[in-house]
Chains A and B, each alone.
Chain A
């Protein structure tokens, strides 16, 4: 059943179903320890299979079609889904958060991708999906997590540090200036996993891309070179998100009735 192509062991359906056995082990533990996770596990497992198969089919189609506009369309779809995933868990919506997240994710990914594809890796043609899609995916995935962290932190701080914000407003700060320290704290929090990740990369666990390349038969030395590019690119993509957030000038966080200098929106007392 096992076939070899490009030095990679192709997995058969039978081998996949053996992997499914791992999920059953988790389900058994969950049942025994009464974690109540069986339903979610089952749903998650089914979703993993269906989702990845669909992605595989779509990617295979795009790879064989080899047209730049299909690749671009995939990138746009990825950015849209990343934006949604970054913000939808916020318990109470920060006004305009979709707009802020979309701007930050799109700008940071586009800028980083342009540099890495255009000047570092230089595939021919530039839109070669084999490079463009996985690299965009890594940038987006990382930035998405950062954006979610920043949003979550900002939101909880807007409650926890409400007195502090109001004290600044009462001292004549504009709304934007009054929340500045909170925005800064949120952006710092967003950067921390990336910066920490740079410290332990490859030691605690082999990063996904490196693992993939090694499994695919690339030499570890080639894999680490790519990984170095990837780590730096993720850091810069997260950082570029910061001026992007700033570019929106925190505007949406403030009540339009009273312009940029006024009342923090989350009409505090209603929350």
Chain B
């Protein structure tokens, strides 16, 4: 759509995706996503914007199968995602939540946490490197995770995802729980990671700074439908509805 077909190297291909929650207990059926199609190229960024309840987070969660679409197909790295072991898929398309979740224990415990049936083989050096990559001091490894600040917590969750060598980062409002200085630090971290690691980024965000710095494409969702889908050029967009929406968030 944005580029000629032969130039594409799509990591995510979303085709005619719909997500409907069936009616239950007196609640009517809810159409969360309605015929959404979008591609995300390797190493590029897709930013999902739209009013709350527009289905941005649900779309993000369809990419690593925390939600199962009602109809439609999502391909990751050329294969439909149901063909992947969900655990493998979720390691390669790492989700970072709005509210960082750290488990009991030290930062080290949190970085090395893994499923009982899996192994996570990381050297001391890699642990420290991962912390440095997100702008934290390697000496922080032995700190109790419970005493970290909000910004530090979010960066630890990003470092934790990086240690699993993801191809893509899925970010669900990664900065909205943070104060502006910390939000900027996260934005910088994310942009740096995209450049140094060639990570593909799909982000739900309302932070104009992140939209501007990440570039890539913008997908504007309203009530589960795609209203606009276009590349970001120097932070500027063409579509009027999208302009109006972003102007609203810039305010």
Contact = CB atoms under 8 A, between A and B. Distances in A.
B115 A173 contact: yes
Interface in B4-45: 21-22, 24, 30, 32
A261 B21 contact: no
B24 A169 contact: no
Given A171-B114, A172-B91, A255 B68 contact: yes
A260 to B, nearest CB: 10
B38 to A, nearest CB: 20
Contacts of B164: 171-172
Interface in B103-118: 103, 113-118
A14 B178 CA distance: 72
Most B CB within 10 A of own CB, among A164, A171, A255, A262? A171
B180 interface: no
Contacts of A262: 65, 86
Contacts of B22: 270
Interface in B82-140: 82, 85-88, 90-91, 94-97, 99, 101, 103, 113-118
B167 interface: no
Most A CB within 10 A of own CB, among B32, B101, B117, B118? B101
B21 A258 contact: no
Given A163-B97, A163-B99, A269-B21, A172 B90 contact: yes
Contacts of A171: 90-91, 113-115, 160-161, 164
Contacts of A170: 64, 66, 90, 94-97, 161
B67 interface: yes
Contacts of A270: 21-22, 24, 30
Given A170-B97, A171-B90, A172-B88, A177 B115 contact: yes
B58 interface: yes
Contacts of A177: 115-117
B134 to A, nearest CB: 16
A92 to B, nearest CB: 8
A245 interface: no
A263 interface: yes
A164 B68 contact: no
Contact of B21 (A164, A166, A180, A267): A267
Interface in A159-197: 163-164, 166-174, 177, 180
A261 B94 contact: no
A257 interface: yes
B87 A261 contact: yes
Contacts of B68: 255, 257-258, 263
Given A172-B88, A262-B86, A269 B58 contact: yes
A88 B116 CA distance: 33
Contacts of A268: 66
A237 to B, nearest CB: 28
Nearest to B32: A269
6 contacts: A163-B97, A164-B101, A171-B161, A172-B118, A174-B86, A174-B115
3 nearest A-B residue pairs (beta carbon): A167-B101, A170-B95, A172-B91
Interface of A: 163-164, 166-174, 177, 180, 255, 257-258, 261-263, 267-270
